[in-house]
């Protein structure tokens, strides 16, 4: 069983829809949770970063972490065709200098937003 | 502002050949990383370098070696390529307590 599970999709929605992307994990030591967006043939870019449980909002994007359920979500409001990409969740247990970047990634969910 | 630069962008190797993937960052980051991305597997850490002069194994280090040449450059070497090493390789860098910055990848096919 993978430490981090993410539904690979693909997920197709009409423009303007609310999108919900999710990951579950098994390691209770994870404290730092990230969402990366990856366009085709490009490297991942950081979208959202949260520490421990709670919500974080940035424009049309909201990240939620529920550590009791070992479940994280990314919500995209008013989705746009430019949001079409693969979304990867990632997490780690610590964020000290030697552990920075030692992330465990989900498999990624491919999202298509149709005009 | 180049960020993280990887060369080459594409490579085809025959089984048993060797090659070195190059990575350079211009952000004065102290930590550098090599990940591979395979369908259905997400990104997996191969090796990392927490600071200049140090390297450590990640989740999938077998068949690879790395060199942290200086603060800017971190190379990944395949001594004897195998078809199982067909993948997209990403280099990333970070400074203390900051998120990873990724390059745009090297697409490697081993036949």
Own/partner pairs, B69-76, CB within 8 angstroms, 24+ separation: B71/B28, B71/B30, B72/B24, B72/B25, B72/B26, B73/B22, B73/B23, B73/B24, B74/B23, B74/B32, B74/B33, B74/B34, B74/B49, B75/B20, B75/B21, B75/B22, B75/B23, B76/B20, B76/B21, B76/B23, B76/B34, B76/B46, B76/B47
How far is Cα B66 from Cα B53, in angstroms, rounded to an integer?
Answer: 11
Rounded average pLDDT over A78-97: 86
Per-residue pLDDT at A47 = 95
- A44 contacts B90? CB cut-off 8 A: yes
- A8 contacts B100? CB cut-off 8 A: no
The H or E element containing residue A64 is strand A61-66
Contacts of A5 (CB under 8 A, 6+ apart): A23, A24, A25, A106, A107
pLDDT in tens, B10-40: 999 999 999 999 999 999 999 999 999 998 7
Q: What is the mean pLDDT of chain B?
A: 93
B15 C-beta neighbours (distance < 10 Å), count: 11
Answer whether residue A96 shows pLDDT above 80.
no
Beta-carbon pairs below 8 A across chains A and B: 65
Rounded average pLDDT over A104-109: 93
Per-residue pLDDT at B95 = 83
- Distance from the Cα of B15 to chain A's closest Cα (Å) equals 25
Per-residue pLDDT at B97 = 65
How far from chain centre, in Å, is Cα A114? 21
Answer whether residue A98 shows pLDDT above 60.
no
Per-residue pLDDT at B82 = 97
> Kind of pairing, strands B19-25 and B74-78?
antiparallel
Residue B80 binned pLDDT confidence (cut-offs 50, 70, 90): very high
> Which among B97, B102, B105 is the nearest to A95, CB-wise?
B97
Answer whether residue A78 shows pLDDT above 60.
yes
Residue A2 binned pLDDT confidence (cut-offs 50, 70, 90): confident
pLDDT in tens, A28-66: 888 889 999 999 999 999 999 888 788 999 999 999 999
Using alpha carbons only, give the angle B22, A33, B98 rounded to the nearest 5 degrees: 50
A92/B contact by beta carbon, under 8 A: no
Per-residue pLDDT at A97 = 45
How far is Cα A57 from Cα A50, in angstroms, rounded to an integer?
Answer: 10
């Amino acid at each position: 069983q993978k430490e981090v599970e993410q539904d690979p999709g693909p997920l197709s929605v009409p423009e303007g829809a609310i999108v919900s992307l999710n990951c579950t994990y098994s390691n209770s030591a994870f404290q730092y949770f990230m969402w990366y967006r990856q366009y085709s043939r490009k490297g991942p870019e950081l979208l959202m970063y949260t520490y421990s449980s709670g919500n974080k909002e940035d424009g049309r994007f909201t990240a939620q972490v529920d550590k009791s359920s070992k479940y994280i979500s990314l919500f995209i409001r008013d989705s746009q065709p430019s949001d079409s990409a693969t979304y990867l969740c990632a997490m780690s247990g610590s964020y000290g200098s030697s552990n920075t970047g030692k992330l465990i990634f989900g498999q990624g969910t491919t999202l298509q937003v149709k005009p | 502002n180049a960020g993280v630069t990887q060369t080459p962008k594409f490579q085809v190797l025959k089984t048993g050949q060797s090659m070195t993937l190059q990575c350079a960052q211009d952000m004065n980051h102290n930590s550098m990383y090599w990940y591979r991305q395979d369908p259905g597997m997400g990104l997996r850490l191969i090796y990392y370098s927490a600071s200049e002069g140090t390297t450590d194994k990640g989740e999938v280090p077998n068949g690879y070696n790395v060199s942290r040449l200086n603060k800017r450059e971190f190379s990944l070497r395949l001594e004897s390529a195998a078809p199982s090493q067909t993948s997209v390789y990403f280099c990333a860098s970070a400074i203390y307590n900051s998120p990873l910055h990724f390059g745009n990848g090297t697409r490697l096919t081993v036949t």
